[in-house]
Chains A and B, each alone.
Chain A
């Protein structure tokens, strides 16, 4: 029990430190502030990763290892080969993966909320998750793989969805945000129906696999996929961060952004594609994990303000930490059974939003 308190504490206490009010920080963002906050959050991420490493269905003696280290490391290592396999081949990749996926979803969430000027936007608002789900389910249930494996099919589905939504919303001259949202709603509904169709006609045994993919699963990714996801996160993040100030202006209004010299249509397209790519990759390899891309940007914005140059990197880092904790809880609360990580994020997310709504008035 105590260890859960520790884990949650390491995740949430730093938030108090970050709160603008407690620090009396100046009302605007400097590069120095960005660096300081990011270093702080990076420390949090590493701490959580280290703690999570020792959470799991099989007990691993941390104290013995520390004693061994301190005593000069000359006797046999207290961890057996099995322990080491569990720690480094099973838990470590999973924790790193959770961090990357959490960061990806948070980054995409920040971008979509800013671009669409909608605080309720999340990475799935344009239907990317449904498209990926259709791709994955086709591979899982029909045995039809359009690309290597379930992940490949899912990514293809996500890609096609982006093209579809983008195509619907684009006119000759501009990409209209409201139309984009509507197109996303329509596509979500349509693919949702396709998903239900696939599930209804699925064979009994395969159904389970499909359900667990839909609910999100961080346990099965290997290092190649993890590095791939990490690469796309970094690349996408770089593109978005360079345009972060422009995103500030677009988040105020597109007219304002245009009047202040931002090439609005080009920037919107670029940001949209980068965020969609990050989301597509994340969903393809981990299934549909909800709420992370919605809560984390909100939380960070409440604490650190709306300037995307700070909001973006801090959301990526905290999103990573958040999903690490959620996944750790998912795999230990009912050990050895595993809860889908999406269940934990939703259980956190819904009460949080009720709280937010009450606060707003």
Chain B
């Protein structure tokens, strides 16, 4: 039984060799051995109920707990080609940001199917989940989960609008890392989240996605609220930053909130991260 299945798959692979890569790939049979090259992808795979099909993940795939027990194939920017091949995957899912493009080329050359998960912004997540579901042969489940995410996001937006009641948009700053001072600029999930909640990201017009800001700039733009990412550990690191910003009203009035790193990855859990932000913004 397994032999026939394998032969079928082999023939399909041969047929697909040389076809240029696109985000959507047609399968003869749904892939059962999946290698994930990005932590966000791993989370989504588990969310869609296909966690048991995953045969290998990166060192950084830490959610859910079962993901940590999966075999590893190296890092995010330097995965081991050999380990990927040794896992005998039917499908390798990768992203364009961070995974080296050479790995993609090598996998193509070796005839191993790859799927590029392209969703990068908040609004692209539901469609990305649907597309991935289609590629995995679970379009129905994926559509349901994607719809759930969409509803949750719409809900949060509505609630935020209601509580703002037409007043001026609150100015927010999201600090990714206190030293060196990196903040979330435009074209990031975090920025999308703030916009969804009706807040204005004061770093939105900076040149890059994660610009290195100066204290001066922050003081000048005077945010109403500051979020600092990555949990309670960064409390120590950010002490000196807060000291330097103590002239800000936001700092003096205690409108500095430490939030978890849920917003760093684009997954269904991002919604929870946005809820966290919404909670803090509501009180203002």
In the complex they form, do A and B come into direct contact, defined as C-beta atoms under 8 angstroms apart?
A: yes
Shortest distance from the beta carbon of A73 to any chain B beta carbon, whole Å: 23
Contact B85 A90 (CB under 8 A): yes
Given contacts A56-B82, A208-B77, A338-B80, whether A89 and B110 have CB atoms under 8 Å apart is yes
Cβ distance A88 to chain B, nearest Cβ, rounded Å: 11
Give the interface of A toward B (CB within 8 A): 56-58, 82, 85-86, 89-91, 200-201, 203-206, 208-209, 211-212, 217, 219-220, 222, 331, 335-338
Can you spell out 19 A-B residue pairs with CB atoms less than 8 angstroms apart?
A: A58-B82, A58-B86, A85-B85, A85-B110, A90-B82, A201-B208, A205-B97, A205-B98, A208-B77, A209-B100, A212-B78, A219-B81, A220-B106, A222-B106, A222-B109, A335-B83, A336-B83, A337-B59, A337-B80
Which B67-88 residues sit within 8 Å CB-CB of chain A? 72-83, 85-86, 88
Q: Smallest CB–CB gap between A303 and chain B, Å?
A: 34
Beta-carbon nearest neighbor of B88 in chain A:
A82
Cα-based distance from A39 to B44 in the complex (angstroms): 56
Q: Of A57, A206, A220, A336, which is in contact with the most chain B CB atoms at under 10 Å from its CB?
A: A336
- Chain B interface: which size bin? 20 to 34
Interface string of B17-57 (1 = CB under 8 A from A): 00000000000000000000000000000000000000000
| B110 in contact with A212 (CB, 8 Å) | no
Contact B106 A335, beta carbon cutoff 8 Å: no
Chain B residue numbers with a CB within 8 Å of A86 are 82, 85-86
Say yes or no: B100 contacts A220, CB within 8 Å: yes
Q: Mark B77-121, 1 if CB is under 8 A from A, else 0.
A: 111111101101000000001101011011001100000000000
Instruction: In the A-B complex, list the 8 residue pairs whose CB atoms are closest, starting with the nearest.
Output: A208-B77, A58-B86, A336-B83, A220-B102, A205-B97, A336-B80, A205-B98, A336-B74
Cross-chain contact B86 with A203 (CB below 8 angstroms): no
CB within 8 A of A91: which of B79, B82, B88, B103? Answer: B82
- What is the minimal beta-carbon distance from B249 to any residue of chain A, in angstroms? 30
Within 8 A of A (CB), among B261-282: none
A contact residues around B86 at 8 Å (CB) = 57-58, 82, 86
Residue numbers in B under 8 Å from A336 (CB-CB):
72-74, 79-80, 82-83
The residue on A at minimum CB distance from B187 is A203
Across the interface, do A337 and B75 meet the contact criterion of CB distance under 8 Å?
Answer: yes
Q: How far apart sit A338 and B209, CA to CA, in the bound complex (Å)? A: 28
Is A204 in contact with B210, judged by CB distance below 8 angstroms? yes
Note all chain B residues with C-beta closer than 8 A to A89.
85, 109-110
Cα distance A208–B209 in the bound complex, in angstroms: 15
Shortest Cβ gap from B106 to chain A (Å) = 7
* Set of chain B residues within 8 Å of A338, measured between Cβ atoms: 74-75, 78, 80
CA–CA, A84 to B190, complex, Å?
45
1/0 per residue, CB under 8 A from A, across B200-220: the answer is: 000000011110100000000
Contacts of A209 in B (CB 8 A): 77, 98, 100
Most chain-A CB neighbours within 10 Å: which of B79, B81, B100? B81
Within the assembled complex, what's the spacing in Å between the Cα atoms of A77 and B167?
75
Residues on B with C-beta less than 8 A from A217 are: 78
Residues of A within 8 A of B74 (CB): 336-338
